[in-house]
Chains A and B, each alone.
Chain A
Amino acid sequence: MTASTSPSQPDSHPTDNRRSWFAKLSIGLGALLGIPPLGSGIAFLLSPITRHKASRDSGFQKVTPVETLTPGIPRRFTISGNVTDAWNRYSRQLGAVYIIRETDAADSPTVSAFQADCPHAGCAVSFRSSSNNFQCPCHESSFSLDGKIANQNSPAARGLDHLETKIEDGFVFVKFEKFVKGTPEKISVS
């Protein structure tokens, strides 16, 4: 299809200023017409970036009495809290954590806690007592009880994410956070 040998404007007359003026005006106005719908539409679709709001409870949450934890054996707990999901505000499950009681001493127990999301792509890891480590069901990462990557072919860029803990009145409190997946550094998502 190379029928039109002078593709620019075969019918245009270089002397016809009137037509050229019409053409310019049309293009100018045409561009103007697109601004309100497209402009507001783009601004609207960008809302999640331009209007970022805290969307869930942060801070320490009471999880369990220390005495229910057996030293050296991780236990999984569901963390609930208030969530703002667009227009909704309600309490629901935020995610899960693993808590391990480290010392046996009854008077000064210490615990550590991990985010149960795999730091690679966010699948939920689970504790396997047979191998005594954490396994990710998606890409075969495994993590030892201290959270470090346990298999060399793991695609994870970092070990399991430690969460801040404290013990008060015999209860374990965990500061529930989520972190950006896939990065070697631990970056909190607030």
Chain B
Amino acid sequence: MKTLMKLADWFDDRTGIRHVLHEALYERIPGGAHWRYVWGSTLMFTFGIQMVTGLCLWAAYSPSSQTAWESVYYIQHEMSFGWLLRGIHHYTAQLMVVLLAIHVLQVVLYGAYRAPREVNWLLGILLLLVTLGLSLTGYLLPWDEKGYWATKVATNIMAIAPGGGKLQALVVGGTEYGHHTLTRFFALHAGLLPATLIALLVAHIAVFRRHGVTYSPRDSGETTFWPEQVCRDTVACLGVLVVILLLVLRHGFGPEGGANLGAPADPSRSYDAARPEWYFLFLFQFLKYFPGTQEIIGAIIIPTVVLIVLAAFPWIGRYQIGHMLNIFILSGLLLGTGYLTWIALYEDSKDNNYNLAVAEAEKNGKRAAELASVLGVPEGGASRLMLEDPKTQGPYLFSENCKMCHRWNGHDGRGYPVDGKPTASDLYQLGKEPEKWIRGMLEKPDDPQYLGNTAYADGAMVQFVKAHMNKASKNEIDALVALLLASTEDIATEENFRDQDVPPEPASPQAALIRAGLDVFELGFENAQEDSEAMSCLSCHAVGSLVSDGIEPGPDLTGYLAPDGKWLTRMILDPAHEQLYGSHNDRMPSFSKQLNDQQISLLVRWMQQNWPKKADPSNGQ
């Protein structure tokens, strides 16, 4: 202990550290310690959190358009407590904005901005702007859809200011958003802005120490910063920390909790859920009131005027009436921004398409993380994973190509309602539950889900099913269903056995059903065979090598609902093919020239739910 004291004495002798600490801790606080003085300290504390968590995140973040999302995904989902670290960083940034507002309000209410504290007030405004700049630049860094689009909007607004185009190019790193947008934003976010903030903060605190706290005449007694004010400050910081942790943990303890990570940015895909962070929503809402040519007024001129007025507060506040005016202006500003924020949130909550877009974005974000985890990210980056994923692309392809006539469980594939009446079947069951589909078709073929909306609503098929299906036994239906669900290869196998004089035992119950199905298909239902006008499926359809003798045959049903999706693929490529609907084709266009093979494959695999899943990494790849 003695040696330690000696060492401390030596160190103090060489550095004067005790004097500095003493100066720092035993600053006199005339008027005593107060809870209202805690806000500056909570901001210091949150900035400290940002420095610590930010530096750690820096050790794992990679700023480029092919690695930004990917490295953030890795932070969030793979690294130990990465989700917690990132969650703390994300929500602390949000809370800093709230604490800033409280700090400013407190300073204005208590007149702490008035002479001789003008310089500190101005330093405070600069600190506010730098903090907002940190938020804005940080929002882009994950390079997910929402960060990408929000930043695109923000920087495009920048461009409408005089000379803004050049400024935009400087910030974005060119005319396109890409690698250099990220490197530049990262340099701002982790370099220039924090360095500026630290410099301003040092000045802010130094000037604060020069003038001391602003106490009111009612306050009596005097104390020192340590320990009474420090204790209040720490308790307040603890409160702040609890709020941060509650926000981080509200969705769970693990990668599903913490900050949200959307799907990787895709410049080609419209992102209807694009919104800035909540603390910029008021500006977003405000701009709605300015028509295109006057946007500069709302986006640049008015905010600049507001800043100038704020900067002039100490001079307006020289007189008591000016001080009252300042309080009035600031309250008005805060109420106004609060009101605009509320309207923006309220309008969004009523906007069905916006809510669907948010749900879709959420789903895509989860899917991107799942794919990155199951398949690993290829060299082209995670957006390639999404582009090659049936589960992600299917809904868009269906919506772009099929929803004009078909529906998917009543919607457009993506979940949006479609105007007008469908003119073809709802394909949801066909893909997802093919057995249910074919049983439904054999029971009620003119249901709108099946043929009800098509030209065949009262056609031969519907009439045949209505007239004959009541004669079918359960076994016969099961056999037909098995046949229609079977692959081309399985049908061929059973056909070969069927032709032999002494057919071998079927390999499985399923094979037995397929073989029986061929009989039913060819000969019709047993109960109806005496009827001289009776028909069978074969009267109109072919299956395997059984060829219909009908004059105008319907589609060949070999492999109709097989999981390989080949029938569906042929149908999309050329529905009027002679083995499909031929000359009876009901308005369905050939997509062979509109979609490429990959797109058709993605569409079919999506319809049949054949996509890589977490449980089975080999599936589909």
A90 adjacent to B56 (CB under 8 Å) = no
Indicate if B300 sits at the interface (CB-CB under 8 A): no
How far is it, in angstroms, between the C-alpha of A22 and the C-alpha of B55 when the chains are bound?
32
Indicate if B343 sits at the interface (CB-CB under 8 A): no
Q: Which residue of B lies closest to A2 (CB)?
A: B13
How far is it, in angstroms, between the C-alpha of A171 and the C-alpha of B509 when the chains are bound?
46
Q: Which residue of A lies closest to B52 (CB)?
A: A37
Indicate if A187 sits at the interface (CB-CB under 8 A): no
Q: Which residue of A lies closest to B28 (CB)?
A: A11
Instruction: Assess A40 versus B88: contact at CB under 8 Å? Given A4-B18, A29-B238.
Output: yes
Indicate if A84 sits at the interface (CB-CB under 8 A): yes
Instruction: Assess A41 versus B378: contact at CB under 8 Å? Given A29-B234, A47-B80.
Output: no
B78 adjacent to A1 (CB under 8 Å) = no
B376 adjacent to A51 (CB under 8 Å) = no
Instruction: Assess A11 versus B85: contact at CB under 8 Å? Given A19-B227, A88-B379.
Output: no
* Nearest Cβ on chain A to B52's Cβ, whole angstroms: 4
Indicate if B245 sits at the interface (CB-CB under 8 A): yes
Query: Contacting B238 at CB < 8 Å: which of A32, A41, A44?
Result: A32
Instruction: Assess A44 versus B81: contact at CB under 8 Å? Given A37-B52, A88-B378, A90-B378.
Output: yes
Indicate if A14 sits at the interface (CB-CB under 8 A): no
B372 adjacent to A4 (CB under 8 Å) = no
Indicate if B95 sits at the interface (CB-CB under 8 A): no
Interface string of B228-247 (1 = CB under 8 A from A): 10110011011001001100
Indicate if A189 sits at the interface (CB-CB under 8 A): no
Query: Contacting B56 at CB < 8 Å: which of A19, A30, A44, A89?
Result: A44
* Nearest Cβ on chain B to A45's Cβ, whole angstroms: 6
* Nearest Cβ on chain B to A123's Cβ, whole angstroms: 27
Number of B residues whose C-beta is below 8 Å from A? 51
Interface string of A92-123 (1 = CB under 8 A from B): 00000000000000000000000000000000
Query: Which DSSP category, helix, strand, loop or mixed, fits chain A's interface?
Result: helix
Indicate if A151 sits at the interface (CB-CB under 8 A): no
Indicate if A23 sits at the interface (CB-CB under 8 A): yes
Interface string of B374-392 (1 = CB under 8 A from A): 0111110010000000000
How far is it, in angstroms, between the C-alpha of A88 and the C-alpha of B12 when the chains are bound?
52
B82 adjacent to A47 (CB under 8 Å) = yes
Q: Which of B67-75, B203-211, B268-276, B309-317 contacts A (4 or more CB under 8 A)?
A: B67-75
B241 adjacent to A1 (CB under 8 Å) = no
B238 adjacent to A43 (CB under 8 Å) = no
Interface string of A52-89 (1 = CB under 8 A from B): 00000000000000000000000000000000101111
Q: Please indicate the chain A residues that have their CB under 8 angstroms from the CB of B376 in the complex.
A: 84, 87-90
Q: Which residue of A lies closest to B87 (CB)?
A: A40
Interface string of B26-40 (1 = CB under 8 A from A): 100000000000000
* Nearest Cβ on chain B to A87's Cβ, whole angstroms: 4
Q: Which residue of A lies closest to B241 (CB)?
A: A33
Q: Please indicate the chain A residues that have their CB under 8 angstroms from the CB of B252 in the complex.
A: none
Q: Which residue of B lies closest to A29 (CB)?
A: B234
Indicate if A138 sits at the interface (CB-CB under 8 A): no
Q: Please indicate the chain B residues that have their CB under 8 angstroms from the CB of A11 in the complex.
A: 26, 224
A40 adjacent to B53 (CB under 8 Å) = yes
Indicate if B84 sits at the interface (CB-CB under 8 A): yes
Q: Please indicate the chain A residues that have their CB under 8 angstroms from the CB of B48 in the complex.
A: 37
How far is it, in angstroms, between the C-alpha of A33 and the C-alpha of B41 when the chains are bound?
13
* Nearest Cβ on chain B to A92's Cβ, whole angstroms: 9
Q: Which residue of B lies closest to A1 (CB)?
A: B16
* Nearest Cβ on chain A to B550's Cβ, whole angstroms: 53
Q: Please indicate the chain B residues that have their CB under 8 angstroms from the CB of A40 in the complex.
A: 53, 56, 81, 84-85, 88
Query: Contacting A23 at CB < 8 Å: which of B22, B84, B227, B237?
Result: B227
Query: Contacting A19 at CB < 8 Å: which of B18, B85, B228?
Result: B228
Give the number of residue pairs across the A-B interface with Cβ within 8 Å: 122
A1, A25, A51, most chain B CB atoms within 10 A: A1
Query: Contacting A26 at CB < 8 Å: which of B45, B80, B234, B375?
Result: B234
How far is it, in angstroms, between the C-alpha of A14 and the C-alpha of B80 when the chains are bound?
47
Query: Contacting B230 at CB < 8 Å: which of A26, A43, A45, A51?
Result: A26
A47 adjacent to B16 (CB under 8 Å) = no
A47 adjacent to B79 (CB under 8 Å) = yes
How far is it, in angstroms, between the C-alpha of A23 and the C-alpha of B19 when the chains are bound?
19
Number of A residues whose C-beta is below 8 Å from B? 35
Q: Which residue of B lies closest to A31 (CB)?
A: B234
Q: Please indicate the chain A residues that have their CB under 8 angstroms from the CB of B15 in the complex.
A: 1
B81 adjacent to A43 (CB under 8 Å) = yes
Q: Please indicate the chain A residues that have their CB under 8 angstroms from the CB of B45 in the complex.
A: 33
How far is it, in angstroms, between the C-alpha of A29 and the C-alpha of B241 when the chains are bound?
11
Within 8 A of B (CB), among A1-50: 1-4, 7, 10-11, 19, 22-23, 25-26, 29-30, 32-33, 36-41, 43-47, 50
B80 adjacent to A37 (CB under 8 Å) = no
How far is it, in angstroms, between the C-alpha of A57 and the C-alpha of B73 when the chains are bound?
23
Indicate if B102 sits at the interface (CB-CB under 8 A): no
How far is it, in angstroms, between the C-alpha of A102 and the C-alpha of B429 when the chains are bound?
65
A25 adjacent to B52 (CB under 8 Å) = no
Instruction: Assess A7 versus B18: contact at CB under 8 Å? Given A51-B79, A88-B377, A89-B375.
Output: yes
A44 adjacent to B60 (CB under 8 Å) = yes
How far is it, in angstroms, between the C-alpha of A86 and the C-alpha of B60 when the chains are bound?
10
A87 adjacent to B231 (CB under 8 Å) = no
* Nearest Cβ on chain B to A101's Cβ, whole angstroms: 35
Q: Please indicate the chain A residues that have their CB under 8 angstroms from the CB of B71 in the complex.
A: 86-87
B12 adjacent to A45 (CB under 8 Å) = no
B78 adjacent to A89 (CB under 8 Å) = no
Interface string of B192-233 (1 = CB under 8 A from A): 000000000000000000000000000000001011101100
Q: Which residue of A lies closest to B79 (CB)?
A: A47
Query: Contacting B74 at CB < 8 Å: which of A3, A29, A87?
Result: A87
Interface string of B492-526 (1 = CB under 8 A from A): 00000000000000000000000000000000000
A29 adjacent to B235 (CB under 8 Å) = yes
A1 adjacent to B13 (CB under 8 Å) = yes
A26 adjacent to B227 (CB under 8 Å) = yes
How far is it, in angstroms, between the C-alpha of A30 and the C-alpha of B230 when the chains are bound?
9
How far is it, in angstroms, between the C-alpha of A37 and the C-alpha of B69 when the chains are bound?
23
Instruction: Assess A25 versus B12: contact at CB under 8 Å? Given A4-B18, A40-B81, A47-B80.
Output: no
Indicate if B49 sits at the interface (CB-CB under 8 A): yes
Considering the complex of A and B, which 10 residue pairs feature the smallest CB-CB distances, nearest first?
A89-B376, A1-B16, A23-B227, A41-B56, A22-B227, A22-B231, A29-B234, A47-B79, A43-B81, A87-B70
**B interface residues (Cβ-Cβ under 8 A, vs A):** 12-13, 15-16, 18-19, 22, 26, 45, 48-49, 52-53, 55-56, 59-60, 67, 70-71, 73-75, 78-82, 84-85, 88, 224, 226-228, 230-231, 234-235, 237-238, 241, 244-245, 372, 375-379, 382
7 contacts between A and B (CB under 8 A): A11-B224, A25-B231, A25-B234, A37-B53, A87-B70, A87-B376, A87-B382
Sample of 13 further A-B pairs with CB below 8 A, known A33-B238, A88-B379: A22-B231, A25-B231, A26-B227, A26-B234, A29-B237, A36-B241, A40-B56, A40-B84, A41-B53, A46-B80, A86-B74, A87-B78, A88-B376
